[in-house]
Amino acid sequence: MTPTHLLGLPPQMLSSLAVLPSAEQPLMLLTRHSIREQVAGQGFASYALPLTDEGRQLAQAWGQHLLDSTGREIVSCLSSPIQRCVDTASLMLQGQTRQMFPITPIDQHVLLVEPGSFVHDVAQAGPLFREYGPLGFINAFLRDDLPGMKDPQQGVLDILALLHQYQPTGSHRLSLAVSHDTILAALLAVMVGQRAITWADWPAMMEGVFMWFEGDDFESSRLYWIWRGQLYQQPIAAFKVVS
């Protein structure tokens, strides 16, 4: 049962906590932002939509719970430049430090937002996103069947290389990266070799994946990740783009 202070947290996150490696292993958490305001009508989620009060409380409580339950402290932080992602990161840091203005900087990066992660030409890809909807768009992308998009493998390598740069060192350390649902959905699908996903695969708000790398050199390292309570691993070389 989800603790009262974590109501709204996807229960799979607690399942993932149960299978984390020992605290000697530093980790990264790549997560979708916390609960935002709902989209009006049948429109798409504007980047201007803020977190709800529930979402703000959840992000802070989740940050505190990560420290209390795993002993891991957030020592570095990345975020999409979109305000609800920056706010999620800030509130999670507040939950850990109990300070209104935590000293850990939040580095905003274009590889955690679109265009940037997988979209390289929004003029081509944007109309298709509106036509297909989020799920249809990601599935077309996984088939490598969309103009204006990176090669799926290359998009994954770009994001993973960024996360590798920010991986923490030392025990009881955690690095945080806050992004968006479409980016996590595409990343996770490519990492496990899915050519199509369903809404059941879609990351919920405040749902994320724990990751770590073995190896100092990115290209020769091995990636481990825990998603919905299950451990996966692949060498980075497995994601190389085939010419």
- Summarised one tens digit per residue, pLDDT across range 204-220 is 999 999 999 999 899 99
pTM for the whole structure = 0.95
Summarised one tens digit per residue, pLDDT across range 145-159 is 899 999 999 999 999
Residue 39 has pLDDT above 80, yes or no: no
pLDDT at 43 over 60: no
Give the mean pLDDT of 181-201.
97
pLDDT at 168 over 60: yes
What pLDDT, in 10s, does the model give residues 78-132? Answer: 999 999 999 999 999 999 998 888 889 999 999 999 999 999 999 999 999 999 9
What whole-number distance in Å separates Cα of residue 153 and Cα of residue 62?
31
The number of angstroms, rounded, from the C-alpha of 94 to the middle of its chain's C-alpha atoms is 19
Distance, CA of 72 to chain centre: 18
The residue written with tokens 């204006």 in the block is 148
* Beta strands at 230-235 and 222-227: parallel, antiparallel or unpaired: antiparallel
The pLDDT confidence band at residue 49, using thresholds 50, 70 and 90, is: very high
